[in-house]
Amino acid sequence: MSPTGIRTRARQGFPRLTGRVFRARMLKVQSAFREHGIEALLVTRPSSLRYLSGFTGSNGLLVLRSRSVVLVTDGRYQVQAREESMRAVRVVIVRGSLIEGAVRTGFLRKLSTIGFDDSAVTLRMYRDMKRVLSSASLKPVAGFIEDFAEVKEALELAALKMAARISDSVIAQLLPLVRPGVQECDLASEITYRQRRLGAERDSFEPIVASGPRTAMPHARAGSRTLREGDAVLFDLGCVVSGYGSDITRTVFLGKPDPRLRKVYGIVRSAQDAALQAVHAGVSARAVDAAAREVIARAGYARNFPHSLGHGIGLEVHERPRLAPSSKDTLRAGHAITIEPGIYLPGAGGVRIEDDVYVHDRGCDLLTHSPRELIQL
Amino acid sequence: MSPTGIRTRARQGFPRLTGRVFRARMLKVQSAFREHGIEALLVTRPSSLRYLSGFTGSNGLLVLRSRSVVLVTDGRYQVQAREESMRAVRVVIVRGSLIEGAVRTGFLRKLSTIGFDDSAVTLRMYRDMKRVLSSASLKPVAGFIEDFAEVKEALELAALKMAARISDSVIAQLLPLVRPGVQECDLASEITYRQRRLGAERDSFEPIVASGPRTAMPHARAGSRTLREGDAVLFDLGCVVSGYGSDITRTVFLGKPDPRLRKVYGIVRSAQDAALQAVHAGVSARAVDAAAREVIARAGYARNFPHSLGHGIGLEVHERPRLAPSSKDTLRAGHAITIEPGIYLPGAGGVRIEDDVYVHDRGCDLLTHSPRELIQL
């Protein structure tokens, strides 16, 4: 049925998170209530909701008490909420405000301290919460669930590996398509399409394809620029498997590279190597960022590396830890992170190389395996 | 280069928003400062940022004073921010917190009342703002910019029409692919791919493809279910042109429909007709919702229409006005809205028909033109 005549690869072998996984997570979170001084927790961040219950809808509020849990959502998700969330979750369908609906169930009665994530609640929502929960005290506990979610379990690692493998395959499929006369947006369409055909749920973010001088924009959108001989071509792409996303960047050259970019490529690669060497459980995220940043600074390009070195990946494409000069995070065994140094020369172009790694006690394992050598097509 | 051998359609004919458009918008917003009792406005919602300045980056803060404007963003967007935003905008690149960066420029000094959108600021951001702007009073003015943005200008309407036309074409291309043995996710891949190949920037949302009993979930994700003879198949899709998104749903049948769903199809279509008849500038959004809801209720399916009738479309896929029983909005000439009644029978399946319309004084014009008759494939 497809233009290529190939059916989407079956997802049967893909990791499937079971009720047991969710039950274990829920228990861990509930048993930390006392430590945080709360009796219940309001979960509003979509990735936290998915992490704890499996629910993927766009509108949901999870109310956790120490021994029970309610998912409040609207009528559109009646069937889906029941289907996706584990059995112990009571699903309540409401019209209008979710927090008002939750209060109407009586489930929040007699609670004196309720935790919530102040970085996932707008000021307007907060005022609604204050109004309808006037007798309880609301306690900000941002990062509470992320603290568990940032350390990846075996099934999560399996999903991340599968997502990385699909992105690797698509990069390999893409190289023969990088030719003069092709537009950036042609390549972006192929990325999205081919990741899905290999079984991904979706892109983990809108793929970036930049060519020529546009590679100097770290986050360029794929435009209608046509590739020419001599161009640098930068792809930044990722896909989602069972909720978990990959994130990989390669910069290749169509014909002979500009000598400045050839030089820069070598520096970026050395910077990435230095960072990969520095990764292990217990090191500060800042030190890993510094390992790469120093290589770039010594070569005289400090001002041309204007972003952080990397970030956690998982249910969100950017999650904790943050690898940046100002980061206060420490790497832990089980973190899945990106390592993505780049150098951008306005007017000329840029180079970024990004891989995903899994942190363990003695170092890290690469999840992405596309070649990192300079490729001249 | 593509599997189909077709190059992405050139975007040359697509509407391009010019500096003049942004200047006019900015002036309108600035001239409403006095009425709202503010001297400056902090813009944090990405769609509002794009509406006022053209900037599409993921991290930006626009600070408007009555005669000047600053865009604060991070180093990743140095080139892009300059390229996308109109000349009058001063671009400031900062590391770390955008609001702290804005304060460092001195641009916010000597202001006593600063407006902000409390539905686009998290509680955590708000506390940061309070801390660094301690001498100013912060005034919530949610909906201030939406009030301008919800009425579409000629260029915006042209973009919405183009997006609708692409989605219509993809629905026509899709019908021959709806065959037994095809998976839902195969069809979803084709939707995304074909919309892009016709020149769309991207999907306006993850396409929904549901088949058989799964059509009873209004917001089902495309899964690996394989289509069978007798299935209802529901597509809900949309794409973005120059920032503006379409949103259309069709439900078709693979072979002879279940008699219950055939009956339901007729009711949903009548409900949509009743709503389309009711649309004109000046009518309450609630009355339009009621026109459709009454048809469904009279047929005995009130409980099986668990969502609102529609919503505004534009730079966001769900924006004002809201067409729902509890809505307080009034339709205005220049609104672009969806009309999307549905009936869902758990276990059996569901039907939804959705079109985009443009509101004017005497009624509305359809933007989407796919056939609405029951299609049996």
Cβ separation A185–B8 shorter than 8 A? yes
Average pLDDT rounded to a whole number, residues B180-187: 95
Cβ separation A306–B177 shorter than 8 A? no
* pLDDT beyond 90 at B15: no
- As a whole number, the mean pLDDT across chain B is 93
Cβ separation A189–B2 shorter than 8 A? yes
Given this model, what pLDDT does residue B138 score? 96
**Chain A residues whose beta carbon lies within 8 Å of the beta carbon of residue B123:** 118-119, 121-123, 126, 140
* pLDDT beyond 70 at A13: no
Task: Find the helix packing angle between B154-174 and B184-197, rounded to 10°.
Answer: 140
Tell me whether strands A40-43 and A113-116 are parallel, antiparallel or unpaired.
parallel
Point out which residues pair with B356 in neighbouring strands.
B338
How far apart are the C-alpha atoms of B308 and B198, rounded to whole Å? 31
Given this model, what pLDDT does residue B157 score? 96
**Chain A residues whose beta carbon lies within 8 Å of the beta carbon of residue B58:** 219
Contact between residue B370 and residue B246 where contact means Cβ atoms under 8 Å apart? no
pLDDT tier at A146, thresholds 50, 70, 90:
very high
pLDDT tier at B3, thresholds 50, 70, 90:
very low
Q: For A10, name the nearest residue in chain B, comparing CA atoms only.
A: B224
* pLDDT beyond 80 at A4: no
pLDDT tier at A18, thresholds 50, 70, 90:
confident
Q: For B141, name the nearest residue in chain A, comparing CA atoms only.
A: A124
Query: Among B191, B242, B307, which Cα is nearest to A77's?
Result: B307
Cβ separation B192–A193 shorter than 8 A? yes
**Chain A residues whose beta carbon lies within 8 Å of the beta carbon of residue B197:** 189
How far apart are the C-alpha atoms of A376 and A373, rounded to whole Å? 9
Average pLDDT rounded to a whole number, residues A354-375: 98
**Chain B residues whose beta carbon lies within 8 Å of the beta carbon of residue A307:** 74-76
Average pLDDT rounded to a whole number, residues A357-371: 98
Given this model, what pLDDT does residue B12 score? 62
Given this model, what pLDDT does residue A12 score? 62
How far apart are the C-alpha atoms of B9 and B3, rounded to whole Å? 15
Quote the radius of gyration of chain A (alpha carbons, Å): 23
**In A8-17, which positions are buried (b, 16+ CB within 10 angstroms) versus exposed (e)?**
bbebeebbeb
**Chain A residues whose beta carbon lies within 8 Å of the beta carbon of residue B188:** 196
Given this model, what pLDDT does residue A168 score? 98
Which amino acid is present at A226?
Answer: T
* pLDDT beyond 90 at A37: yes
Give percent above pLDDT 70 in chain A. Answer: 97
pLDDT (tens digit per residue) in A166-214: 999 999 999 999 999 999 999 999 999 999 999 999 999 999 999 999 9
Cβ separation A1–B177 shorter than 8 A? yes
Q: List the strands of the sheet with A310-312, edge to edge.
A: A319-323, A310-312, A336-339, A355-360, A363-366
Top residue of A185, A187, A236 to mutate, by most chain B CBs within 10 Å, is: A185
Residues 6+ apart with CB under 8 A from A339: A272, A275, A276, A279, A288, A292, A309, A310, A323, A354, A355, A357
Cβ separation A224–B8 shorter than 8 A? yes
* pLDDT beyond 50 at A359: yes
**Chain B residues whose beta carbon lies within 8 Å of the beta carbon of residue A120:** 122
* pLDDT beyond 70 at B235: yes
pLDDT (tens digit per residue) in A86-142: 888 999 999 889 999 999 988 888 899 999 999 999 999 999 999 999 889 999 998
Given this model, what pLDDT does residue A2 score? 45
Class of residue A142 by CB neighbours under 10 A (exposed 0-12, middle 13-18, buried 19+): middle
Give me the residue spans of the domains in chain A.
19-149, 154-366
Q: List the strands of the sheet with A232-237, edge to edge.
A: A208-211, A232-237, A248-253
- What ipTM does this complex have? 0.89
In the structure encoding, which two tokens stand for residue A329, read together? 């995070």
Cβ separation B56–A346 shorter than 8 A? no
- As a whole number, the mean pLDDT across chain A is 93
pLDDT (tens digit per residue) in B126-148: 999 999 998 899 999 988 899 99
Average pLDDT rounded to a whole number, residues A8-32: 83
* pLDDT beyond 80 at A9: no
Give the nearest partner residue to A76 out of B10, B202, B219, using CB atoms. Answer: B219
Average pLDDT rounded to a whole number, residues B74-84: 87
How far apart are the C-alpha atoms of A347 and A372, rounded to whole Å? 24
In the structure encoding, which two tokens stand for residue B86, read together? 């109109």
Average pLDDT rounded to a whole number, residues A236-242: 96
Given this model, what pLDDT does residue B83 score? 86
Top residue of B77, B79, B129, B289 to mutate, by most chain A CBs within 10 Å, is: B79
Give the nearest partner residue to B122 out of A121, A196, A307, using CB atoms. Answer: A121
Average pLDDT rounded to a whole number, residues A266-277: 98
Given this model, what pLDDT does residue B221 score? 85
How far apart are the C-alpha atoms of B64 and B134, rounded to whole Å? 18
Cβ separation A326–B95 shorter than 8 A? yes
The stretches of A68-143 forming alpha helices (DSSP H) are 78-84, 98-104, 123-132
In the structure encoding, which two tokens stand for residue B52, read together? 């006022």
Average pLDDT rounded to a whole number, residues B161-171: 98
Cβ separation B217–A140 shorter than 8 A? no
Point out which residues pair with B65 in neighbouring strands.
B40
* pLDDT beyond 50 at A1: no
- CA-based nearest distance B63→chain A, Å: 19
In the structure encoding, which two tokens stand for residue B187, read together? 């069809």
- CA-based nearest distance A246→chain B, Å: 18
Residues 6+ apart with CB under 8 A from A48: A62, A117, A120, A145, A146, A149
Given this model, what pLDDT does residue A10 score? 65
Assign domain B154-366 to a CATH class: alpha beta
How far apart are the C-alpha atoms of A94 and A76, rounded to whole Å? 10
* pLDDT beyond 60 at B368: yes
pLDDT (tens digit per residue) in A286-329: 999 999 999 999 999 999 999 999 999 999 999 999 999 999 99
- CA-based nearest distance A3→chain B, Å: 6
- CA-based nearest distance B196→chain A, Å: 6
Q: Which residue has the tokens 């990397």?
A: A310
Give the nearest partner residue to B190 out of A2, A76, A83, using CB atoms. Answer: A2
Top residue of B122, B131, B173, B338 to mutate, by most chain A CBs within 10 Å, is: B122
Average pLDDT rounded to a whole number, residues B239-259: 97
Q: Residue B176: is the preceding peptide bond cis (ω within 30°)?
A: no
Given this model, what pLDDT does residue B11 score? 66
Which amino acid is present at A248?
Answer: I
Q: Is the pTM of this model over 0.90?
A: yes
In the structure encoding, which two tokens stand for residue A126, read together? 């907060």
Given this model, what pLDDT does residue B339 score? 98
Cβ separation A76–B1 shorter than 8 A? no
How far apart are the C-alpha atoms of A207 and A203, rounded to whole Å? 7
Cβ separation B196–A188 shorter than 8 A? yes
Give the nearest partner residue to B192 out of A7, A192, A307, using CB atoms. Answer: A192
Average pLDDT rounded to a whole number, residues B63-69: 91
**Chain A residues whose beta carbon lies within 8 Å of the beta carbon of residue B120:** 122
Contact between residue B325 and residue B189 where contact means Cβ atoms under 8 Å apart? no
In 3-state terms, chain B is what percent helix, strand and coil (to 5)?
Answer: 35, 25, 40
**Chain A residues whose beta carbon lies within 8 Å of the beta carbon of residue B201:** 221
Top residue of A79, A206, A308 to mutate, by most chain B CBs within 10 Å, is: A79
CATH number, domain B19-149: 3.40.350.10
Given this model, what pLDDT does residue B350 score? 97
- CA-based nearest distance B362→chain A, Å: 31
Given this model, what pLDDT does residue B10 score? 66
> In a 3-state reduction of DSSP, which class is residue B180?
coil
pLDDT tier at B2, thresholds 50, 70, 90:
very low
Contact between residue A86 and residue A19 where contact means Cβ atoms under 8 Å apart? yes
**Chain B residues whose beta carbon lies within 8 Å of the beta carbon of residue A215:** none
Q: What are phi and psi of A132, to 5 degrees?
A: -85, -15
How far apart are the C-alpha atoms of A249 and B194, rounded to whole Å? 25
